[in-house]
């Protein structure tokens, strides 16, 4: 097997010759792993776009290679995303050449969108990561999952194609374990349970999600009580699916909306808190009391099991302490 890499017309050109021991492999499997950063997704895209030639002719991805076949593949160079790097401080729990894990603060949007052109996690990552690969043909950090603006906690971002597609596959197969802590209104009647209700776009309010959507996608949330405060409870939550606003919507359906959630029931629920001092403290919370506290997955390149944890941030922890003291004085 030989490989030549050159840059021409803003493309990387690779050429390989099939060795006798490689005969019979599928074309896409033969090419996977031949060059660092050359992912199977990139290869399949290149085949579909006619940028892979076998002995000078376009071919299908499922074709079996033969000894002495000459395989040529052209991969476009990554283009700048147009996003501006910003020197925003990050709490980084882990980093290597493939990925990094951050503890995202509440109030930070993950990626630019309407109304949030800057100040996002992506802008911060572009400043921090000088060795990014071209994920999806664009030079940017690979965001493979998200947290709402008002949700704090653990998030993993990819720095290479291999890591991006590897992590995306784990999320798709539900192999990534995510655990959250949520401070909710009320005192649950049981110590835990399972919420299984499809989540989709709200029938009338397009900015919200709902379990009453006609086109909802299956969603499963497991919850258990970690601590009870009478008027509120701290729940530990595992999710089997990752739908938009899933936890917030499911807990509202359960009858225990997240404290500070002004979208899904929390704004009205605070009026039921009779203690004026406690009600005032709850109103001070400027976001939903939801925190991604644990994250575990397999390293997409090495296969090593990785586990991370992040303690409750000060705003939620302080409110829990206040509630705890109220319980002691009863």
Active site (catalytic) residues: 148
Q: Are 104 and 152 a contacting pair, CB within 8 Å?
A: yes
Distances 6 to 34, 36, 50, 162, 322 between C-alpha atoms, Å: 15, 14, 18, 20, 63
Q: Are 137 and 76 a contacting pair, CB within 8 Å?
A: yes
Q: Are strands 79-80 and 138-139 parallel, antiparallel or unpaired?
A: parallel
Secondary structure of 176-205 in the HEC alphabet? CEEEEEEEEECCCCCCEEEEECCEEECCCC
What is the Cα–Cα distance from 166 to 303, expressed in whole angstroms? 10
What is the Cα–Cα distance from 270 to 186, expressed in whole angstroms? 10
Give the ranges where the chain is alpha helix by DSSP (H).
27-31, 40-48, 121-128, 161-172, 246-254, 266-269, 276-284, 314-328
3-state helix, strand, coil in the chain (%, to 5): 25, 30, 45
In terms of residues, how long is the chain?
A: 330
């Amino acid at each position: 097997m030989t490989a030549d890499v050159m840059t021409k017309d803003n493309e990387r050109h690779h050429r390989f010759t099939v060795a006798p021991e490689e005969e019979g492999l599928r074309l896409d499997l033969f090419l996977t792993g031949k060059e660092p950063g050359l992912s199977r997704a990139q290869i399949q895209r290149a085949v579909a776009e006619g940028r892979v030639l076998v002995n000078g002719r376009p071919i299908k991805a499922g074709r079996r290679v033969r000894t002495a076949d000459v395989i040529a593949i052209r991969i476009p160079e990554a283009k700048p995303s147009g996003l501006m790097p910003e020197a925003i401080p990050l709490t980084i729990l882990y980093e290597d050449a493939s990925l990094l894990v951050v503890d995202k603060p509440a109030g930070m949007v993950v990626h630019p969108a309407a109304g949030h052109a800057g100040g996002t996690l992506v802008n911060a990552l572009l400043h921090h990561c000088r060795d990014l690969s071209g994920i999806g043909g664009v030079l940017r950090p690979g965001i493979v999952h998200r947290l709402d603006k008002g949700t704090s906690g653990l998030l993993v971002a990819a720095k290479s194609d291999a890591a991006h597609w590897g992590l995306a596959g784990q999320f798709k197969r539900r192999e990534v374990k995510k655990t959250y802590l949520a401070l909710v209104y009320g005192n649950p009647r049981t110590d835990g349970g399972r919420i299984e209700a499809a989540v989709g776009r709200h029938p009338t309010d397009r900015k919200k999600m709902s379990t009453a959507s006609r086109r909802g996608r299956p969603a499963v949330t497991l919850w258990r009580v970690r601590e009870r405060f009478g008027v509120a409870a701290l729940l530990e939550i595992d999710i089997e699916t990752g739908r938009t606003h899933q936890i917030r919507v499911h807990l509202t359906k359960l009858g225990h909306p997240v404290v500070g959630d002004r979208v899904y029931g929390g704004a009205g629920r605070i009026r039921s808190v009779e203690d004026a001092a406690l009600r005032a403290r709850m109103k001070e919370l400027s976001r939903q009391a939801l925190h991604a506290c644990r994250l575990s997955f397999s390293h997409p390149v090495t296969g090593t099991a990785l586990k991370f944890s992040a303690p409750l941030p000060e705003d939620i922890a302080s409110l829990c302490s206040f509630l705890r003291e109220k319980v002691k004085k009863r």
